[in-house]
Amino acid sequence: MRKRIMIIGLAAALIALARPAFAHAELTTSSPADRSSVSASPTELDLSFSEALNLNFSGLTITGSDKSAVETGDPMLMDGDKVLIVPVSQTLSAGAYTVNWHVLSTDGHKSSGSYSFTVTP
């Protein structure tokens, strides 16, 4: 019985230690924020993640409510490679926009997601 408890304890400890190895980069904040309304067209999107990213395999697309793509500039990383900054190359007219992002963390895990914001007149 004692041996069984030790084995279960050891297995639980190994699982707890291994868990961070399976983590994915999670979106922690964005600017503009999810479901926010902004009064002016943003000049860039800033997405902050829980882990450092690989820029070569990370990016985003922006689409308007009519499903048309918004032109963006070259992405860059800041703040220890945890913040993805993407310039918005055109002025966004009033309306709803969806941001679809995809990232590869430096530990090799892929993540993706989306959020939306609205530009008000």
Does this model's pTM top 0.85? My answer is no
Please report the pLDDT score of residue 18 as a whole number: 47
Tokens found for residue 44: 């860039």
- How far apart CA 13 and CA 22 sit, in angstroms, is 15
Which positions ≥6 away from 24 have C-beta within 8 Å? 51, 105, 109, 110, 111
Please report the pLDDT score of residue 93 as a whole number: 96
3-class secondary-structure state, position 32: coil
Mean pLDDT in order along the chain per 10 residues (121 residues): 61 50 84 98 98 97 96 97 97 97 95 98 87
